[in-house]
Structure 1
C-alpha cells in the first residue's frame, strides 16, 4: 500500500530556535501562556517533592544501617550518603525538565508543518472533548492533545488522549491514542476489546446494552467482541475471515468501537504522532475501515494485503514499550545499594 501522506516535514531537520519561536507565538495566539507557566510550575513542584521525599527515605535507610552496625545515630555521613543516593534521580529530573520542553517544541513544529503540507488541520489540545465513543464518557481531567483532522484518505481525526479514573480515593492516570474515521454507510454497533498481553488496562468498558458475543476461531484469543442482542448476527457477518485477518494485522493491540457513523481505533498508550510510521498506520487503518464498509454492504471483500515487511516492522515499533525505563530504574537502584553498603562499611570502621 502506498503512503498518501507527504511526510517530508516529519523527516526534515528542525532548527530548535525556530521551533521555540513558533511555539511561543502559538501559545500567545491560543491564549495558553498562563496554563503553560502553571503546568511547568506544577511539574517542577512534583519533581522537588519526589526528590526530597526520596532523599528522606534514603536518609532513614542509612540511619537504619548505621544503627545495625553500632552507630549512636545520624551524623554528617548520613546526610552525605543520602544526597549521593538521590543525586542520579535529581540529575535525571533536571535533564528531563531541560530537554522535555525543547523536544515538545520540535514535535509541535513538525506536526504543524506536516499538516500544512497535507491539507490537514492541527490543534495542540482540547479540554473535555465530546465524542460519541465510550472512552470519552468516563473519567476526569480529560484532555486531547495534538489533534489532527482532515478529509483524506477519508474524513478522520487523530489525537493523543489523557484522563483520570478513580478507585476509592486513588487517582489512576490513563492515556490513549484514538483515530476516528467517518463512515459513508452504516455498520452494526460493536466494540472489540484487545486481549493482547502487551497493552495496559483500558480504564473503560463497553456500555450497556452491549454484551459479550462468542466468536469461534483464533480471533477469540485476540479480541473480545461486544454488541447488542439485536445486532449479534450482523456483527458475526461483518467479522468475516478477511476482516478478522485485517483487524489482527493492523489493530491487534487496539480497541475498536463502531458507534453511529464513526469507527474509533483506540491504542491504550500515547503514540508518537510526529513519526512517519504513525501516518503509515493511519493509512492502513483507513484501508481497514474501507474493508469493513465493503463487508457491511455484503460485497465481496479482498482483505488488506501488505507486501512490505519493513512497513509492518515500523508499525510494530510504534507500540513497543518506551525505552529507558529499566535503565533509569537500575540507575537509581545502584546508588541506593552502594550507599547502604558504604554506610555499613563506614560505620563498622568508625565504631571499631
Structure 2
C-alpha cells in the first residue's frame, strides 16, 4: 500500500516489521541518523550521566572516609565494599543501556524499512507537533516519536506522542498514539469519544466537553461513540455522519477517539500507534482508508453562516456608502460569487465548549481529606 488513500489500495506490506534484522545494518542506520542529526547520541548521554552520578556518590563515600574518626586504612577498607557496589551498579546500568539501545536501533530500522516499502517516510522524532488537537496543546516537553508519514497525495501521519504535566513529585508523563489526516477544507469541531476505551471514571480524554453539545445519533452509534458538536451545528454533524459513515467508524475505529478540528482529522489511542506489530498497522490503515473513502462527501460541506456573515458585511458596507442607512432596511442580494459559501467555519463552530471535571476533583478532595483524618494520631 503506497499510502492510505482508499480501501481498494494495494495491500499493506508488513514484512519489514518482522523480518530478521542484521545488527550491523541496524547500527549503521543508527549511525546515519546521528550523523544527519535526526537523533542525539542517547548512549553517550546516558554514560556521561551514569559517570557523573558515580563520581558524586563515590565522592560522598570518600568524604565520609576522610572525616571519619577511625584510622584512614580502616575507614577505607570499610567503605571499599560500598564503592565496589556502586561500580557494579554503574556497569550494569551501562550494559542495560547498550542492550536497550540495540532494541531501539532494531525498531527504528524496521520502521524505516516498513515506511519505505509502503511509499512513506520515517522520522525518528520531532518536537512540538503543530496539530490543533486536544492532546497537543497541554503540558510541556511535547514530542512525537517513531513518526511515519505518507508522501501524498494527502498528508497522513502515524506516531507516538508524549507530554508532561506538573512538576516535582507531581510530574506526570502522558503517552498517546495518534493518526493525523489532512483535510481539504476546515470542518466544525467534532469529537467522537469512544466508549470502548473509557475508564471506571468515564472518558479517558484529557479534555471534557459540556453535555449540552452531545448529539445522539441513530442506530448503534451511541453505544460505541459519544459525539460532541458545537451548539447550532447539529444538522451539519448529521450531514457529515450519515449512516454509511457511522457504520465505517463503528467497524474500523470503535476503539479510537476521533477529533475533527480545523482541517485535520485526528485519531487517538492510549497505546503506541507506530509499532512493529503488524496487526496494529493493519487496524490503523483500515480505519484511515475507510474514512478517506468518504472524504469527498465531507469536502462538499459548506457553513451557511459564512455566507450570512459575508452578506451582512456587504450590507453594512452598502449602508455606510448610502449615508449610514441601517443595513437591515435594504433589500440586498448576495453577490454572485457568494451564492455558495466559501470553505471555512464560522467562529461559533470552530471550537467546542469545555467543562471542568468537578466530580473527579471532588472525589480526589474527599480521598485526601479521609487520608489525613485516618492518619491523625489517636
TM bin, normalised by shorter chain, reads 0.5 to 0.7
- Residues in 2 aligned to 1:276 and 1:192: alpha-carbon distance in whole angstroms: 26
- The structure 2 residue matched to 1:250, chosen from 249, 252, 255, is 252
Moved more, 32-41 or 191-200: 32-41
Q: Which position in structure 2 is the counterpart of 1:64?
A: none
Q: Which position in structure 2 is the counterpart of 1:222?
A: 224
SS in 1 for 2:129: coil
User: TM-score normalized by structure 2?
Assistant: 0.58
- Residues in 2 aligned to 1:93 and 1:199: alpha-carbon distance in whole angstroms: 36
RMSD: 4.2
Q: Would the alpha carbon gap of residues 36 and 266 (structure 1) be closer, same or farther in structure 2, given more than 3 Å must change?
A: farther
Moved more, 285-294 or 121-130: 285-294
- Residues in 2 aligned to 1:251 and 1:96: alpha-carbon distance in whole angstroms: 38
Q: Over alpha carbons, which structure has the higher Rg? A: 2
The correspondence of residues 136-175 of structure 1 with structure 2, limited to 5 A, is: 136-152=136-152, 154-166=154-166, 170-175=170-175
Q: Which position in structure 1 is the counterpart of 2:234?
A: 232
SS in 2 for 1:137: coil
SS in 1 for 2:233: helix
Q: Which position in structure 1 is the counterpart of 2:20?
A: 13
SS in 1 for 2:132: coil
Q: Does 1:22 align with 2:29?
A: yes
CA contact (8 A) 1:134 1:207 kept: no
Q: Which position in structure 2 is the counterpart of 1:124?
A: 124
SS in 1 for 2:21: coil
Q: Would the alpha carbon gap of residues 170 and 273 (structure 1) be closer, same or farther in structure 2, given more than 3 Å must change?
A: same
Q: Would the alpha carbon gap of residues 24 and 244 (structure 1) be closer, same or farther in structure 2, given more than 3 Å must change?
A: same
The correspondence of residues 1-352 of structure 1 with structure 2, limited to 5 A, is: 3-30=10-37, 32-33=39-40, 37-38=44-45, 97-152=97-152, 154-166=154-166, 170-197=170-197, 202=204, 204-205=206-207, 211-296=213-298
- Residues in 1 aligned to 2:243 and 2:49: alpha-carbon distance in whole angstroms: 50
Q: Would the alpha carbon gap of residues 292 and 43 (structure 1) be closer, same or farther in structure 2, given more than 3 Å must change?
A: farther
User: TM-score normalized by structure 1?
Assistant: 0.62
- Residues in 2 aligned to 1:255 and 1:40: alpha-carbon distance in whole angstroms: 39
- Residues in 1 aligned to 2:297 and 2:40: alpha-carbon distance in whole angstroms: 48
* Cα deviation code 1:223-268 (max 9, x no counterpart): 2211211322211332233222221222122111111221111112
Q: Would the alpha carbon gap of residues 247 and 36 (structure 1) be closer, same or farther in structure 2, given more than 3 Å must change?
A: farther
SS in 2 for 1:183: strand
Deviation (angstroms), 1:143: 0.9
CA contact (8 A) 1:6 1:118 kept: yes
Q: Would the alpha carbon gap of residues 96 and 288 (structure 1) be closer, same or farther in structure 2, given more than 3 Å must change?
A: farther
Deviation (angstroms), 1:203: 5.3
* Cα deviation code 1:44-91 (max 9, x no counterpart): 999xxxxxxxxxxxxxxxxxxxxxxxxxxxxxxxxxxxx9xxxxxx9x
| Unmatched runs of 5 consecutive residues or more in structure 2 | 1-6, 54-84, 302-378
